[in-house]
Structure 1
Amino acid sequence: MAGQHLTPVEDAVSHILAQATALAGSETVPLADSLGRVLAEDLLVPADVPPADNSAVDGYALRTEDFVANQPLPVSARVPAGQAPAAIKPGTAVRIFTGSEIPEGANAVVMQERADVSDAGVVIRADVSDGQNIRRRGQDLTRGDLALARGTRIRPQEMGLLASMGTARVPVRPRLKVAVLSTGDELVEPGVALKPGQIYNTNRFTLLGLLAETGCDVVLCETLRDNREATQATLKRAASEADLVITSGGVSVGEEDHVRAVLESSGELSLWRMAIKPGKPLAFGSFEGTPVLGLPGNPAAVLVTFLVVGIPYIRKRQGVTDYRVYGEQLPAAFSVDSASVRKEFVRARKEIHDQQVMVAAYPNQSSGMLSSACWADGLAVVPEHTAIIPGDIITYYSFAELLG
């Protein structure tokens, strides 16, 4: 699949995903440490949630047959949350609070705002119906049902659901171990004074942030100097320590682009050059059996290609069942005059124009301008061979959705 032609984005992503297999094995982690992890097995509901009928409001529990308009009901008991109540006495009401278990025999709760209390009892100033303001046992989860399926990525809401089931430890897939290799003699770390010809290593920190967002463990992070032997030696070490090697730079056509050359000569290069803008010189292959994703060197191109190609691949390796991303269809507030043979991912954001949500593009879409991504909140897609005028409907992906 490698060659001089440009592989369409969809074909490139399909090819790369076809090589992605989920990590084997599992581990259990405390519920508090499960955020972002992927479930390794189906989880069934061990007991009804809630475990008993309970009140949805602060108020008064009663039997509907005892209700008579404008007639007081004596208050026979008080049921704070967390205490097991006694059965309700016929002809009375019970003071109750949100989350308190419903006394046996009661079949309705009237909120306190609809009740007048006096020494004679409580007068209800509202209609009363069977089941009113009662959360039924098993209303949220029923014992034996599927709570969460294998391959679910755990978000805060899943953590809360697991807690409601009494789950203290969670079976999850192992974390993907990733090696991050930047390339270039010109790169120096932030905090060091630049000498002539040097630039700061932007891509390392972009990738470290993206990998943290996707729940990966970075096991090696180094800069490759522009030397073929050193590149091969570091790739060999990275391949032995990681489940995935990600490089930035070194995959284009220059004499000092050694990553692609090493993959071609000593590993496998199955894809090179994608019909995407920015990020054309993307490469994918393997070295000593470990997959290698070679990203371009320009900072904005690194971000875009990681979001478009890297994240779906990583999600599938993590065992996520649904790793697709669904964009929004919105009108463009920008124009693209000349159609390109490459699909363009424009750094963009949603704005209100004439009381309508539209997608605005950053004025300068250079692949070297990472400031455009800081201004943006997502990517707008300009299809191949397509010019855009304001008002045209385009696909827009928010960064939040792309990161999952």
Structure 2
Amino acid sequence: MSEFYLLAGALLLLAGLFVVYPWIRTQKRLSAEVSNANVIKQRIDELEREVEEGLIDKKDKQIAIRELKLALVDESPIEHSAKRQFATPVLILLSIPAIIAGVWVYYHAHQLSGLNAYTKAKVDVVALRERMQQTGGQGLTPDDFAVLALSIRDNLRDNPQDISGWSTLALVNSAIGRLDESVAAYEKAVNLDASNDTLRFKYSEALMLAGSEDDLQTAVRQMDYLISKDASNRNYRLLFTTIAIKLQDVALAQQHFEVIKDELDPNSQFYQSITNELSLLGLDFGPKEAIHKLENGGASRLVVNIELDVKLNEILPANAYLIVFAQNANSTSKVPLAVKRMPLGDLPTQVELSDSDAMIANMNLSSAQQVNVTARISIDENVMPQAGELQGITNNIQITKGKSQSLDVIINEELQ
């Protein structure tokens, strides 16, 4: 934006010169002409006095006056004509770079595309919000979520204390994979309404999904506060268990799951999913029958083996992130059913995706029959693709619920 202002200022200065410089030249010319006329008038007065004093006769005076007038006429037209002939091509020549610069600035600095997107967002946002409330985000595309985010941010500029607006913005950002922005929006909402426990719970969920060490520790502090207010809340205990699993904190996971395990249906998909996660930490909850059902109809897990095509080694971004996610192959919605992101380490590597990596409730691996799995080397942690990032996709992976499946993804494409 600063570049636009600098160029606009330069163009205004140039335009000013086109106006001011000819005016100054004209004023100087007129001043010179007036000065010459005054000199001639003064000389004629002197000739009159010389006639009166008898120094010259009237005939000599008339000859002198005629010569003075001829000198004035001869001087002005020729000089000004020459100047005009010189000035015209100069002005034309100088106008060409000014026109080019103006067109370049307009092309690079105009916001027509942004204005069109803003106008479209105003038109579409009501219908999109209704669809989001009715379906929880299912069926909406990343572009739909981006339109919602644009509209909500616009409203928040006018009303920054709108708690509902910040909460909705957080949900939208979470749906399109902007987890850090989702966390920031929920944090803003919680700061505005610290007594809202529902909002604090959603904030903790967003922190859990973001998944960094700092985010998870912050989530632990938030859940400690909620548990201190309502120790019997089953949802609090379940979320705390999931956070503890992500932290690989066996004692914390056991502490909270023990409180509520008897309230859960051991045959439910959710129970089987979470007990499977706990079993990986060395904890065994539930009868063998439930574990058997887990292997034959419970939660799903994908083990993704990731390799990099050797031809892309030279353009591997520095300080990059590895993002691995699965999308429903039979749905128009592109919201990931499971996503993992981490700083890029050595390749090849192996990443596990499971139902606990879902971004939206009820939109997980087990909810799909087929998925497309993408591995992307990203410039940042944003799931949305950018030019210069590297990616590989394996399509149409059949999901067998309760099974741990293995697949290969080769990163072999540079995004344009």
TM-score band, normalised by the shorter chain? Answer: under 0.3
Point out the structure with the larger strand share: 1
Larger Rg: 2
- TM-score by length of structure 2 reads 0.27
- TM-score by length of structure 1 reads 0.28
Higher relative contact order (CA 8 A, sep 6+): 1
